[in-house]
Structure 1
Amino acid sequence: MDLSFETIDALWRPSYVFRHQHFKSRAQLHTSAISWHDSALNPKNRVDSLPAIGSSHSGSTRWRVDGAATFKTRFYAIPLDLLDAGHLPPLRVDVFVPDQGEYPPALKHTLDANRGVPLTHAPAISALGMSRYICGVLDAYCSRNRSFLDRYRRLPYGSRIIISHVEPTLGNVNVSIEPNYTLEGLTTSIANLHEAWTRDKIPLARRPPNIDLFDLCLVRQLHDSVSLVEVLRCEEKPELQGTVAVFKSGSDGFHHILHELKLMLTIPPHANIIGPPLATVTKKSGFGGKQGVYGFLIPYFPSGSLRDILPARSLAQTLCMSIKVRWCIQVTSALLHLFERARTFYSDLRPDNVLLDSEGQAILCDLEQRGSWHEWCPPEVLYSQYLENMLNNQQGYNTQAWDSLIAAYVRKRPAQTGETSFIHSKNRPWFALSRKSQEKAMVYTLGLFIYCVFEGLSSVQPNLAYRFAIEPSIGFPTFRQTPADIQRLIRESTVPRTDA
């Protein structure tokens, strides 16, 4: 079976059992004899020109691909004419392409359709045939539409560039622009946000200054929700001018961004937890003039996260025991602080979310409380999360077998306690736990984190859906480098609960 967004998305959901025949039929279709009309050897099926890897701007005079979202149907394509001129705010105008299963069979190899699906390393994504294809398509589109880059800066935040189909001749590819006016309407006004902070008793001295989105210039798109930017000006805090910082925002909504912002301002300071934001980022709405909140700025940590540092230093044999112990102690201290002082939980502990500062100290980030990947979930959370997935994906499976499956498990759904906000609904299994169970769940994830640190791994298990710059060579609970005493600590931390 070929990898694609559709197949990966189906494989990790319980509903896959009802879609197996669909994928089996499609696989048989793709493995049947290919006619000369559809063959990759037929000159008419060859892409007419792809920008060469390693040439200036990836061979494109106008565009660069910085990365892509999970499963590579959404790419971060950057217009270099605007970037080089210093006139490119982080507008998050991404390029959307069809599922890999819809590529013409003759082009799948050229565009790295299957190989690209699980990649997470930005340089590898930028070198994909599909990334170069996108640059070529957008070059051709700009040549036909000379005013597009002027229009680009006026597009609403989060607008989309849609490539509706894939074909060999770049100039014939249909490109459409979808302005996203809806997302502007979802923003909270800065006035309403400050009223909420007053209700939450956040002191004025702790509140960050405001900065306009157009006073930021994009440097690079690092992640779906993270942009590296330079501050061009900040009227409320001029000393921020020239600062290179991280702009964290949402491209589909802002609930989790505002939730994280609140936590960052209310959690008592700790040396190993990301501090209050440098600024709140706002933008005036094109309709009604609302000054909406789009995200916030936090310091940039050039060293990156432990996801890449751990395996790289382990291979280089520069990951000594004292460093491992120090990082684990610092992260443990941060978790204790969140649980005991801030009276909250941390549900997404992974090497990705532990940064290193300039002095090599571990800094815990990402306080959205969205949950985590399945391999990082404690069993009591994983089972509940699996059930949530079943309940949230009933549409299209109205069969007696599916209904029976749901009925057998729905009684096990955790009871709701306290607030049932949007934030709670997106991470119901964690919010439904008692404080005692939340603490145990945090200890479980800490055990897995300690395992990654002492084994020098990017993640706790190899994962079909994600491929890192340096893949895990083993997975939990296999040990190779961890001392016996630490192994016992990890095993005690990861004993499954039966009473959550």
Structure 2
Amino acid sequence: MELSQQSIHDVIHPTAAFCDESVWKQAAAAAAIHDAREIPWEESLLNPKNRIDSLEPLEKPLWRIDGCTAFGTQFYAVPLFMESIPPFRVDVFIPEPATLSPELRNVLDMGVAFYTRDESRISQLGVTQHLLRLLQHWTSTLEDPRQIYQKIPFGSRIVFNNFPKDVSQAQVSIAPTYYLERQMLSVASFQKIWGPEVDLPQTVDIHDVVYLSQLHDSVCLIEYGGKTWIFKALTSYTKYLYHELRQLLIIQSHPNVMARPAHLITKKCSFGSKTAVLGFTLELHVHGSLRDLIPFLQVHNQVSLADKAKWSVQLASALVHLRETCGVFYPDLRLDNIVLTGSGDVVMVDFEQRGVWCEFAAPEVNAIEYVRLLAIDDEIPSEIRDKYATILTNMLPGWEEMGQGEDYIWPCKGYNVPWACLTPKEQEACEVYMLGRVLWCIFESSSAPQRAAVWLSYRWEPLVEFPGYTRTPPAMRDLIDRCTRGRQAGLTRLIVRRRDKLVLREFENTGESTAQDVQNVARDWWAREIADSEAWLQERAEGMERGDWNENYYDRPTLREVYDELEKFRKDNTLG
């Protein structure tokens, strides 16, 4: 089964249990007809007029691509025809690959862009080189391409309405995002709604900042005041950005939690007199996240057990601090959100509180998240959607308001529905679960618990998958096992990504699984998973009504207990 946004809906999400299987039968039949037909010379890629002119790097490119996101449809394009530019975040959007011909998708490696995001790897793909040539030709037709960036809203888009082989046939438009600037707030607005107890950083106009490079969809490097900073900004759903800003400003300082923002980056909006807050700057930790770093260090024998023990203690200490001192829950615990400082210490980042996907999350969170995904899906039958919406309403009346709209509306306690359903003690048990998974990654020197994630390719794919062990000391294995009590085998036990396709794991290297096979297995697995989740939620509701519900259902240790065990392990082994 080819990767696409539809395959996410019909295989990876719980909606797979209720999707219309005739869709994939029709798709399989159409693909078979397409493969069997004799391609006319007029359409053949062997015909010179149908070939892409070249995919070689341009000698004098006018653009650079710093990465991509949105399943390979959004590219971070940087103009090289300008000496410097503020971080305006004018990205390039192309049609969804599924709407293009299979031949073109294959030639351009578009399936790989679905799960590959970083600049170093996507620069090798045909789609990136072709996009650069399309941009090159389009730019050459403009009288003054610098005008692209004049007086447009932050986060505007360069949109390719088609993706032709012939660069001269490209249809390009610029989509100004006035709606984005309208939902942004001013410093005065924050002062009014948050009050004097929230001390806001100094403001810096975006035109005084120089863009350096894009790291991922919400983070880029900028230069200001002779120093390199992280600039955090979103080009949609600013409510998450502003929620994180407030979290970082009110959290009490801790050496292993990201320090408060240093500056607010502002811009005078195109309409009216509002000067909006686009985002904020954070300290740059040059070594980056542990996700790609720790397997690299292990391969080169540059990470010791002492390092791993120290990082584990620091993480546990930070989580204890957030819970006991700040009263903040942290649903985003994974190696992507842990960075290494120049002094070799770890720091937790990303406080949007959106949460992690199910392979990282605790089963309690997943049970509620499955219900939420079904309650908001427009493609499944309405009676099924309404059933799960009712279940969610019984747990969290008014949950719909948390997901509606992109605007930040005060008062706000965040937008994570599953975590809002949980009691503080349940939240802590779920944090312990995630910490256990991260401890496994640290001691096993692995980027993630499972390999071949559907929406992300790791530079260093795990050779051993959770809960297997090869490097972890026995005492830590025991702790990790207790932290992850209640763990369940995920869908990846049955279905994996092989390059740009979803396949059955048992036939991963044979090519014998069909799209229909994959969908059938996914449907059956999700049906069981949803039934188990419903049963657990029913048991929870009845227990809470009786007043005897065990909020630590799986009997995991507390964060404080985990911290104490990690500290004891470090001291007993004289690891610093």
Give the structure-2-normalised TM-score.
0.79
Which of 196, 199, 202 is 2:198 aligned to? 202
| Corresponding position of 2:321 | 337
Q: 1:479 aligns with which of 463, 469, 487?
A: 469
Q: Distance in 2 between matches of 1:60 and 1:211?
A: 34
| Residue 413 (structure 1) shift | 5.9
1:433 aligns to 2:401 (yes or no): no
Task: Give the match for residue 460 of structure 2.
Answer: 470
Aligned equivalents of 1:49, 1:411: Cα separation in 2: 55
Cα distance, 1:300 vs. partner?
1.3
2:568 aligns with none
- Alignment of 1:39 with 2:44, yes or no, is yes
Amino acid at match of 1:333: S
Structure 2 residue 103 is matched with structure 1 residue 106 = yes
The equivalent of 1:348 in structure 2 is 332
| In structure 2, distance between residues paired with 1:414 and 1:430 | 15
- Aligned to 2:81, the other structure's residue is in SS state helix
2:490 equivalent in structure 1: none
Q: Contact 2:90–2:154 (CA<8 Å) still a contact in 1?
A: yes
Judging changes above 3 Å, is the alpha-carbon distance between structure 1 residues 9 and 47 closer, same or farther for their aligned structure 2 residues? Answer: farther
How do residues 36-185 of structure 1 correspond to structure 2 at under 5 angstroms?
36=40, 37-52=42-57, 59=59, 61-82=61-82, 85-86=83-84, 88-185=85-182
* C-alpha displacement of 1:386: 1.0
| C-alpha distance in structure 2 between counterparts of 1:303 and 1:252, whole Å | 28
Aligned match of 2:285: 301
The match for 1:452 among 434, 438, 441 is 441
SS of 2:6's partner is: helix
Q: Which residue of 2 aligns with 1:369?
A: 353
> Structure 1 counterpart of 2:216, which letter?
H
8 Å Cα contact 1:51-1:136 kept in structure 2: no
Map of 2:521 onto structure 1: none
Q: Provide Cα deviations, 1:290-329, integer angstroms capped at 9, x if missing partner.
A: 0111110001111110001111112222221000000000
Secondary structure in structure 2 of the residue aligned to 1:376 = coil
Distance between the aligned counterparts of 1:146 and 1:244, measured in 2?
33
Query: Contact (CA 8 Å) 1:327, 1:361: kept in 2 or not?
Result: yes
The 3-state SS of whatever aligns with 2:192 is helix
Aligned residue number for residue 486 of structure 2: 496
Cα 1:13–1:385 change in 2 (3 A) is: same
Aligned to 2:7: 7
- Please tell me the residue identity of whatever aligns with 1:38: E
Distance 2:367 2:393 in 1: 9
Q: Is the 8 A contact 1:189 1:292 kept in 2?
A: yes
- Aligned-partner Cα distance in 1 for 2:47–2:387: 53
Q: For 2:329 and 2:414, locate their aligned partners in 1 and report how far apart those are by CA, in whole Å.
A: 16
Residue 411 of structure 1, CA deviation: 2.7
| Aligned twin of 1:227 | 220
2:231 counterpart SS class = strand
State the distance in 1 between where 2:392 and 2:176 align: 43
Task: Kindly state the Cα deviation for residue 410 of structure 1 after the two structures are TM-superposed.
Answer: 4.2
SS, match of residue 344 in structure 1: coil
Q: Partners of 1:189 and 1:405 in 2: how far apart?
A: 38
Residue equivalent to 2:379: 396
Q: 1:149 to 1:29 in 2, by over 3 A?
A: farther
The SS at the match of 1:374 is coil
CA contact (8 A) 2:95 2:162 kept: yes
Residues 1:314 and 2:306 aligned together: no
Checking the alignment, whether the CA contact within 8 Å between 2:375 and 2:387 is kept in structure 1 is no
Structure 1 stretches of at least 4 aligned residues deviating more than 4 Å after TM superposition: 417-425, 497-500
- SS of alignment partner, residue 432 of structure 2: helix
Question: Corresponding residue for 1:55?
Answer: none
What do residues 113-135 of structure 1 show as CA deviations (whole Å, max 9, x unaligned)? 22221113331112211111111
Question: 2:375 aligns to what SS in structure 1?
Answer: helix
- Structure 1 unaligned segments of length 5 or more: list them: 53-57, 232-240
TM-score by length of 1: 0.90
Displacement of 1:230 after TM fit? 0.8
SS of equivalent residue, structure 1 residue 382 = helix
Q: Distance in 2 between matches of 1:187 and 1:408?
A: 33
What is the CA distance between 1:450 and its match in structure 2? Answer: 0.1
Indicate if the aligned counterparts of 1:461 and 1:475 stay in contact, CA closer than 8 A.
yes
The alpha-carbon deviation at position 406 of structure 1 amounts to 5.3
Name the SS for the 1:295 alignment partner: strand
Partners of 1:46 and 1:107 within 8 A in 2: no
CA contact 1:283–1:292 (8 Å) conserved in 2: yes
Call closer, same or farther: CA 1:256–1:412 in 2, change over 3 Å: closer
1:236 maps to: none
Q: List runs of 5+ in structure 2 lacking aligned partners.
A: 404-411, 488-535, 537-549, 552-576
Identity of aligned residues (%): 33
Relative contact order (C-alpha < 8 Å, sep 6+): which is higher?
2
Instruction: Assess, with a 3 A threshold, how the Cα gap between structure 1 residues 27 and 80 changes in structure 2: closer, same or farther.
Output: farther
Once the two structures are overlaid, the 10-residue window that deviates more, 37-46 or 326-335, is 37-46
The alpha-carbon deviation at position 7 of structure 1 amounts to 2.3
Provide closer, same or farther for how the CA distance between residues 43 and 451 of structure 1 changes in structure 2, counting only shifts above 3 A.
same
Indicate if the aligned counterparts of 1:108 and 1:114 stay in contact, CA closer than 8 A: yes
Structural RMSD (CA) = 2.1
Letter in 2 for 1:344: V
